[in-house]
Amino acid sequence: MASINLASFVTTHRHAWKFEGFNTSIQARLLLGFAVLVTVLTFAVSVMLWKTEIVRSETEQIVYHHVPMARISRAFSNNIAESTLSIRRWLDTGRAEFKTEFSTSWTQIDKDLTRLTRNLMFVDDTGERAAWSKFKGGLERLRDDQARIITSAAR
C-alpha cells in the first residue's frame, strides 16, 4: 500500500517540486545541473590552458635559447679542437694547408663567439656571466699562445 501511495505521489508531483519556495521542475533542475557542469568544465579547461601556457613558455625558452646554445657550443668546442689539431699537423708535416685550416678554425670560433655572446645576453644568472667572462679570457690566452707557437715555428 505504501508503494501505491508513493507511486501516486510521484506521478502527481513529477513536474513541480516545492523546495524552499522555489518551483523546481525537471527542466529547471536539468538546466541548473547543466550550468554547474558547464561552470566546472570551463574552470577545468581554463586551468588546463593556463598550465599549458606555462609549459609552452618553458619549452619555447629551451628551444629558442638552450638548444641553439648547445649546437653553437658543440661547434665551438669542435673548432677549438680543430685549431689545436691543425697546429699539430702543421708542426709535424710543415704543409701550408694545415696553417690555413688553423686560421679558418679561428674565423669560425670568432663567429661562434659572437653568437654565444649574443645568446648569453638573455641569461640573468650572474654566476653564468662571470664564468663566461672567465672563459673568454682563457680563450684569448689560447689564441695568443697558439699564435706564438706558429710564430716561433715559422722562424
pLDDT tens digits for range 33-51? 999 999 999 999 999 999 9
> What confidence score (pLDDT) does residue 18 get?
53
> What confidence score (pLDDT) does residue 60 get?
81
> What confidence score (pLDDT) does residue 91 get?
87
Instruction: State whether residue 76 is helix, strand or coil.
Output: helix
Record the cell numbers describing residue 129, joined without a space.
Answer: 656571466
Of 142, 131, 60, 154, nearest to 109 by C-alpha is 142
Element (H, E) at 34: helix 26-61
Of 70, 59, 57, nearest to 119 by C-alpha is 70
Give the whole-angstrom CA distance, residue 89 versus residue 33: 81
Share above pLDDT 70 across residues of the chain, in percent, rounded to a whole number: 82
pLDDT of residue 71 exceeding 90? no
pLDDT of residue 3 exceeding 70? no
Mean pLDDT (the chain, rounded): 82
Of 60, 113, 118, 108, nearest to 86 by C-alpha is 108
Question: Residues for the chain: how many in total?
Answer: 155
Of 107, 118, 123, 120, nearest to 75 by C-alpha is 107
Average pLDDT over residues 14-23: 54
